[in-house]
């Protein structure tokens, strides 16, 4: 079971490995689960995905969209981080305290959130949700 106190180690490891592999992305913690966007060379992205699939700590892993992109949305971050709401961020900080490496700059956080949401809204699976076909 995930413990918020594990988040700094998860981010540190993700940022280190993504940097080594030339990947970028963002991790969103909702309070009950995670959403992750990965960008980079297909082989490296698939390598990370395969590691997630065999890691027993991950459950119900789903791919929302996978494909080629013209330019990265998160090129400036080896692994950006967002909580889903100020309340979740406050609970996380209460559990783990201030953590270096978490993106606290409000402008950067808004930019990360906007890019993440745009990716989700534009994903083919979201068309079903928006059109009420599910």
26/112: higher pLDDT:
26
Average pLDDT for 102-108: 63
| pLDDT score recorded for residue 131 | 40
Whether residue 12 is predicted with pLDDT greater than 80 in this model: the reply is: yes
pTM: 0.69
Contacts of 84 (CB under 8 A, 6+ apart): 28, 29, 30, 31
Judge contact between 134 and 128, C-beta under 8 A: yes
Average pLDDT for 42-58: 90
């Amino acid at each position: 079971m995930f413990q918020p106190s594990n988040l700094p180690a998860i981010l540190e490891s993700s940022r280190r490995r993504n940097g080594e592999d030339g990947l970028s992305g963002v991790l969103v913690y909702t309070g009950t689960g995670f959403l992750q966007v990965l960008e980079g060379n297909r082989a490296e992205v698939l390598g990370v995905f395969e590691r997630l699939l065999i890691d027993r700590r991950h459950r119900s892993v789903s791919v929302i969209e996978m494909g080629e992109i013209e330019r990265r949305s998160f090129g400036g971050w080896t692994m950006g981080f967002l909580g889903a709401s100020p309340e979740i961020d406050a609970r996380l900080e209460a559990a783990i305290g201030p953590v270096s490496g978490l993106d606290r700059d409000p402008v950067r956080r808004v930019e990360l959130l906007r890019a993440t949401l745009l990716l989700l809204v534009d994903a083919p699976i979201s068309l079903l949700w928006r059109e009420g076909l599910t």
